[in-house]
């Protein structure tokens, strides 16, 4: 159930225990009169504040023109007073020159794509009330609405000759009470007969389907659902997007990702497949039949002779190694091209030679760029450093990639394939960054209790003075098998923690990708085990430093990180003076029956608590944090969202109630309108203010 966060091009499956940022932020109802655009925050003494953090422009989707000379990209801005966001489109040359803003409204423009050989740009906009397809000239003029589909569309891809459009639209699959009883039009009760009646943050009454339409005189005609009558979803909810669908270069075939299961079978399995839909015959073929884990993100080679995709081997294991596969379509022969590479493949892009693929991969604590030869299987590192690459696109002689770090939000870069030189292009946030003083981010390797070496990120306060003593916060990563790289977050932002005077200690404990499969997989079935000792090894090592005040240590985290906080609260031997947990599991027995994607609990916890013969499951439940409440002795704050159907808000409420009943200083921050994340701007600001109010109260 983990969310492989921030690599937008390859979202695969639901995320139990993630702690990243969402791309599907709900809009506020309060529409502003003024334009929501780039902010000019008041910055005093170079210090990051929540208001400054929410002033950064968030660089999103991008597209390279057919002649590879221009880049169109999306930037999202936040309005704290109006409690909403707005997305605009920009264009620049591929060397970063001649930047232009193409749209300026409070309608959300997104997913820009070049069409008509670079003469126009297609994009989604909610200007007409729902998300529809529009086009415009590259200077932003001559806007035209192309679609008017009921309920709007979620993503689109033109066929190579641009005579057809593939797009995603929701299809109702569940009969509601008013559907069943016409005389009860206001009845709100939901009638449930199977599992997966709720997912992530919504009640499942519809699913996304791929639709295809012909283009005639600038309009969509002959619209048809290529999965008509099927109750399955494609792309896969909640994180799959248009990257899970693809056109063949000849425009005759649509490849799509689907887990053709419903109810209990869906809840217990990760077995998705890549399907080919033949436009002429209407026939569908399963191209990955017999491959039992996630198979996602199909990508045709430029000549149409090969298909690349990402594949996991084992059914039910959503954190299995993400492998890169290539199929020769003429023969059906499949090749596991990253077999010798002990790390995940993520975002992928074909090279012009029809044999080279470029990919993002988490490696040794950062997301790096690699090239892969699909024939020889040779893998070469292209770009690394103290930052994370998020996406990859191809231009002549170079890659265009989004990149972020713990000290800078995502920007667009050019990576030269010959020299390896990396050049920033977008500079969206330079005016704000130039006014801020960031803390140093140190890469430190720490010995674990079993003799391993563990990469731990240490983030120091700005203007750090080694002669002083500072409070420190242990950060517990979510996932649990979720990369702890150089990520930039609008909730778990290490630089704002450092700006508030804290040293942040963020260990890549057992279960984190990027250090090989053995390191990754150790955590499964061992919650409360070695990874907890890894946490303590990290904070103990830093507590020995003369500039860390071991009497002012705090601990925080979300999701599995929240589980970690709850567990450590009963097993920390008085190391910490305050805890803060968001969206964490408190009672694993209750969690097993409350969550939706059962495959995660069955794999990582071991199965149901009533299976007394299952030693792994019984060990997991014996290590549930709620079993150690009798040892709680430290102030704890808990936050949770009531739209969180992955880890129900009852988990946070139980933990808070336990602390209150035990007489432990405690506070609950509950969000009635948030899911596993915190998406609304004012709620995000509230979270930051309460986070620091709590730790400042107990650690300063």
**Catalytic annotation, residues:** 559, 644, 676
In angstroms, what CA-CA distances link 270 with 258, 273, 524, 592?
10, 10, 16, 17
Cβ atoms 605, 588 nearer than 8 A: yes
Strand-pairing partners, residue 208, are 170
DSSP one-letter code for 247: E
**Is the bond leading into 252 cis (omega within 30 degrees of zero)?**
no
DSSP one-letter code for 627: G
> Quick one: which H or E segment has residue 440?
none
> Would you say the C-alpha torsion 302, 305, 307, 313 has a positive or negative sign?
negative
Q: How many CA atoms lie within 13 A of 111 on its CB side?
A: 24
Give CA–CA dist 70/524, Å, rounded: 46
Cβ atoms 367, 483 nearer than 8 A: yes
- Extended beta strands in 345-479, E state: 348-350, 356-363, 366-373, 379-383, 388-389, 393-395, 398-405, 408-416, 422-424, 441-447, 453-459, 470-476
CA torsion, points 558, 238, 103, 83, in degrees to nearest 10?
-40
Buried b (16+ CB within 10 A) or exposed e, 623-638: bbbbbbbeebebbbbb
**Pairing status of strand 366-373 against strand 379-383:** antiparallel
**Is the bond leading into 480 cis (omega within 30 degrees of zero)?**
yes
> Quick one: which H or E segment has residue 604?
none
Contacts 24+ apart (CB under 8 A), 276-285: 277/210, 277/226, 277/253, 278/252, 278/253, 279/164, 279/212, 279/251, 279/252, 279/253, 279/254, 280/252, 284/226
Q: Is 535 helix (H, G, I), strand (E, B) or coil?
A: helix
């Amino acid at each position: 159930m983990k969310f492989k966060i921030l690599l937008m091009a390859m979202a695969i499956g639901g995320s139990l225990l993630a702690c990243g940022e969402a791309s599907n932020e709900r809009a506020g109802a309060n529409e502003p009169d003024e334009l929501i655009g780039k902010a000019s925050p008041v910055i005093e003494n170079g210090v990051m504040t929540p208001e400054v953090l929410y002033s950064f422009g968030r660089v999103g989707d991008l597209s390279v023109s057919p002649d590879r000379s221009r880049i169109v990209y999306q930037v999202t801005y936040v309005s704290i007073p109006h409690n909403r966001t707005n997305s605009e489109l920009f264009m620049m040359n591929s060397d970063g020159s001649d930047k232009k803003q193409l749209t300026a409204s409070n309608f959300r423009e997104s997913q820009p794509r070049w069409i008509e050989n670079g003469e126009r740009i297609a994009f989604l906009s909610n200007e007409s009330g729902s998300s529809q397809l529009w086009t415009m000239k590259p200077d932003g003029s001559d806007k035209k609405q192309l679609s008017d589909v009921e309920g709007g569309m979620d993503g689109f891809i033109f066929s190579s000759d641009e005579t057809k459009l593939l797009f995603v639209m929701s299809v109702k699959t569940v009969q509601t009470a008013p559907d069943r009883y016409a005389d009860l039009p206001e009845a709100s009760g939901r009638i449930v007969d199977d599992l997966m009646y709720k997912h992530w943050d919504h009640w499942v009454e519809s699913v996304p389907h791929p639709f295809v339409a012909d283009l005639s005189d600038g309009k969509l005609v002959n619209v048809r659902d290529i999965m008509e009558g099927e109750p399955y979803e494609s792309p896969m909810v909640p994180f799959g997007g248009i990257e899970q669908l693809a056109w063949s270069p000849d425009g005759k075939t649509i490849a799509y990702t689907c887990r053709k299961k419903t109810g209990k079978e869906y809840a217990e399995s990760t077995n998705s497949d890549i399907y080919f839909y033949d436009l002429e015959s209407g026939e569908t073929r399963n191209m990955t039949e017999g491959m039992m884990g996630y198979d996602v993100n199909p990508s045709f080679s430029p000549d149409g002779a090969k298909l690349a995709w990402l594949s996991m081997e084992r059914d039910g294991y959503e954190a299995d190694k993400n492998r890169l596969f290539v199929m020769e379509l003429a023969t059906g022969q499949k090749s596991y091209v990253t077999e010798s590479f002990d790390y995940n493949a993520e975002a992928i892009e074909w090279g012009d030679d029809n044999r080279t693929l470029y990919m993002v991969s988490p490696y040794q604590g950062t997301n790096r760029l690699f090239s892969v030869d699909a024939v020889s299987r040779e893998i070469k590192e292209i770009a690394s450093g103290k930052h994370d690459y998020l996406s990859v696109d191809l231009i002549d002689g170079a890659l265009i990639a989004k990149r972020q770090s713990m000290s800078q939000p995502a920007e667009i870069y050019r990576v030269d394939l010959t020299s390896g030189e990396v050049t920033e292009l977008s500079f969206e946030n330079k005016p704000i960054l130039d006014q801020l003083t960031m803390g140093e981010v140190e890469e430190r390797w720490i010995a674990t209790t079993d003799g391993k070496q563990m990469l731990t990120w240490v983030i120091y306060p700005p203007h750090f003075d080694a002669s002083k003593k500072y409070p420190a916060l242990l950060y517990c990563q979510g996932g649990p098998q979720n990369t702890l790289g150089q990520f930039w977050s609008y909730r778990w932002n290490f630089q704002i923690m450092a700006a508030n005077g804290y040293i942040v200690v963020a260990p890549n404990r057992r279960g984190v990708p990027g250090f090989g499969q053995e390191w990754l997989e150790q955590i499964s079935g061992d919650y409360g085990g070695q990874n907890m000792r890894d946490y303590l090894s990290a904070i103990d090592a830093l507590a020995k430093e003369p500039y860390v005040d071991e009497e002012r240590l705090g601990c925080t985290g979300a999701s599995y990180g929240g589980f970690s906080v709850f567990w450590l609260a009963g097993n920390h031997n008085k190391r910490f003076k305050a805890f803060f947990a968001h969206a964490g599991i408190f009672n694993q027995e209750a969690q097993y029956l409350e969550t939706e994607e059962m495959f995660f609990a069955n794999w990582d916890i071991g199965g149901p608590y009533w299976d007394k013969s299952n030693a792994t499951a019984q060990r997991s439940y014996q290590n549930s944090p709620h079993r150690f409440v009798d040892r709680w002795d430290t102030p704890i704050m808990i936050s949770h969202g009531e739209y969180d159907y992955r880890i129900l808000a009852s988990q946070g409420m139980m933990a808070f109630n336990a602390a209150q009943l035990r007489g432990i200083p405690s506070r609950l921050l509950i969000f009635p309108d948030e899911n596993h994340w915190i998406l609304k701007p004012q709620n995000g600001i509230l979270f930051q203010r309460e986070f620091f109010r709590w730790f400042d109260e107990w650690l300063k």
